[in-house]
Structure 1
Amino acid sequence: MDAPQQSADGQVYVSLAQLMALEFAARGLSFIARQPRASLLSGNHASHLRGRGLDFDELRRYQPGDDLRHLDCKASLRSGTPIVRTWTEERDRPLLLVLDQRMSMFFGSRVSFKSAIAAELAALCAWIGLKAGDRVGAVVFDDHECQCLSPLRSRARLQAICATATRFNHGLAADVPAGDSRQSLDNALQRCLQLARHDHLVCVISDFAGASDTTLKQLRQLRAHNDVLALQVFDPLALDLPQQGRLVISQGRLQVALAMERQRIRQPLSDFLGGRLKDVAHLLRRSQVPLLMFSTALPAAAQLRLELGRLRELKP
């Protein structure tokens, strides 16, 4: 059953038209090409991303200047003349998006909700992939459902991904019961493993709430045969709690006001929120998956442009 359509303001709930319009914001962005020298994705493909491989093209006679390492000994012996193998660059590298729309993402203290920023990031990444000529697919999940769209090179498939993201996004509401965050995240990554056998670029867009040792194992399995990027969405409240005043927290029906000037209230909350970010960073370091961080206080497109052009030093 389709989720009831919420009023799409672009900050709490996104719209299909909004995600499709991000085609223009994605112009000039690339996961591998023409990045600044300090970029996480700069250099040749072997540095941070595998890039596209080589496909065998044909056998032909040796010509002066050909690389002797490409000589085909068996073919040369059969023909009695030097024969070399030629190769063409494989142009297709499927992009698989893993989009988190769990209840843990339905939160925001500044401009947007984490769920809305995540949906925008998924659309931006999809446009980047399609413009590069790659097939694009997605695994979209919430606390109770997971939908997979296999990679295809078509605008229709991209629109289907954006429509699915919008449907899941509109299914979030304060009175929707949360499920097992850990299990739903791991189930989505397991579905991703089934789709991305090898040579995919996998972008996991999530707050990584409930990440566990199972999550770590799955990320390592994905990384063994694919390129994986973690796009972590966070709220600035986790980094900078107010020192004074009352912080009102609500889940829709009930709300509580916390006196932030009281140390015994502010400190445990700060430790809890900040600790979750540190735990995720530590897990991703162990998985050796590059981490790109996105705040709910800033536009998704501007942050993606910055993150793709900036080297993040992952401390051991």
Structure 2
Amino acid sequence: MTTPPLAGPGGAGGSISSSQAHSRLAAVRARLDLPLVRRAAGLLDGRHRSLFSGHGQDFDEMALYSPGDDVGDIDWKASASTGHPVIRRFQRESNLAMVLAVDTGRNMAALAPDGGTKADIARFVADVVGYLARGRGDQLALVAGDSERVVQIPARGGTAHMEMLLRRIDAMFALDAPTSNITHVLDRVLTWFTRRSLVVVITDEVRPPLESEQTIKRLRTRHELMVIQVADALPTSFGDDAVEDVDSPLGIPEFLRARSDLAAEARDAVARRRSDVSAMLRRYGVQSVTVTSEADAVDRLMDLLRRSRRAGR
């Protein structure tokens, strides 16, 4: 297949690049500024103990003050007794155990509105989640798959685990992958995880489908759930370029691509599907966000975390 773009379900797309040899976590760190990382980590604070110390409710230990420690943690009475500044350390409240549930169907080979592949955006979102989990000392599990495959990796922490998990996701994205079936992935999460977790779903813009409603309902009673949907480019967005569909060999003739009424109809159809899926998720209190590019991925993720935190109060 040559340069013409490929249309996905309601969109368009291209080929997927191979895995990179460099550290994925280091690449994310280079793109994110420290204040943003701290805000995101704060929004993830939740209900189990992290490996880090901080301002929680459970006392951990007394320790000598070191440059960089918060002066507000100094225990002045203990400091007067010892003759040295002493601080009180507490266990920090952290987030729930985290599970990445990733759609790796060939629909993710389609183009996003920014002209890049949806898989590239999905990769970046997964990288950011992995980076935040690693930085907080949290554990991260993976369930990724499509209509024919499901890969599951148990929750662990540490850099080596995060890198391995992210590369496993990367290797599953391909134009010749089986068709998408995010319900298959969510059913596996439902049967595999008994401990209450934060499940971060990365999928197509019109998924999870309405047929997933009972699975969503059951998942929501057991876990915290948020959905990140990667947008499709419209098949009419490429002017004179030939368009093909990643799921079926349906081409759109040039004279039809040029018609403004066809473009408007395509936009309306996508909007209706988005609305139906959003309404289904809202019924069960599931927060979701649609990402259109790597450039807006972090802002959209931050917005999702803020809304999820407010909803959980």
Q: Which of the five TM-score ranges fits, normalised by the shorter chain? A: 0.5 to 0.7
Q: Distance in 2 between matches of 1:200 and 1:311?
A: 14
Unaligned ranges ≥5, structure 2: 1-14, 50-55, 61-89
Which of 132, 136, 139 is residue 136 of structure 2 equivalent to?
132
- Are residues 1:51 and 2:47 paired? yes
In structure 2, the partner of 1:196 is 193
Match of 1:150, SS state, is: strand
**Map of 2:108 onto structure 1:** 105
Pick from 202, 223, 231: which aligns with 1:226? 223
Cα distance per residue 1:234-290 (max 9 Å; x no partner): 13538xx65x95463124787433434535533432332222222221221122111
Per the normalisation by structure 2, the TM-score is 0.67
CA drift at 1:111: 3.0
Aligned partner of 1:154: which letter?
G
Amino acid at match of 2:172: F
The question of whether the paired residues in 2 share the 8 Å contact of 1:114 and 1:235 is answered with yes
Residue pair 2:144, 2:152 contacting (<8 A) in 1 also: yes
Q: Is 1:250 matched up with 2:244?
A: yes
Output the CA distance in 2 between the equivalents of 1:262 and 1:310: 39
CA contact (8 A) 1:32 1:51 kept: no
Corresponding residue for residue 202 of structure 2: 205
> What amino acid is the match of 1:146?
V
Q: Which residue of 2 aligns with 1:158?
A: 162
1:127/1:139 CA distance change after superposition, 3 Å: same
Higher relative contact order (CA 8 A, sep 6+): 2
Bigger mean CA deviation after superposition, 247-256 or 209-218: 247-256
Shift of 1:134: 0.8
Please tell me the residue identity of whatever aligns with 2:242. V
User: Residues of 2 paired with 1:229 and 1:31: CA distance?
Assistant: 18
Q: Deviations over 1:214-253 (max 9, x none)?
A: 4222222222232111111113538xx65x9546312478
CA separation in 1, counterparts of 2:221 and 2:143? 19
In the alignment, the residues of structure 1 paired with residue 154 and residue 100 of structure 2 have an alpha-carbon distance, to the nearest angstrom, of 10
2:217 and 2:124 mapped to 1: Cα distance? Answer: 26
Tell me, yes or no, if the aligned pair for 1:92 and 1:133 is still in contact at 8 Å: no
1:279 equivalent in structure 2: 276
RMSD: 3.8
Q: Distance in 1 between matches of 2:277 and 2:154?
A: 28
User: Does structure 1 retain, via aligned residues, the 8 Å contact 2:142–2:165?
Assistant: yes
Match among 7, 19, 23 for residue 24 of structure 2: 19
Relative to the length of structure 1, the TM-score reads 0.66
List runs of 5+ in structure 1 lacking aligned partners.
1-10, 36-40, 59-86
Identity %, equivalent residues: 19
- What SS class does the counterpart of residue 248 from structure 1 fall into? coil
Distance 2:210 2:232 in 1: 24
Contact in 1 for aligned 2:115/2:233 (Cα 8 Å): no
Q: Which structure 2 residues correspond to residues 55-134 of structure 1 after superposition, within 5 A?
A: 91=94, 93-108=96-111, 109-134=113-138
Higher mean displacement: 304-313 or 99-108 = 304-313
The structure in which a higher percent of residues are helix is: 2
Rounded to whole Å, the distance in 1 between the matches of 2:214 and 2:119 is 25
Q: Distance in 2 between matches of 1:194 and 1:112?
A: 34
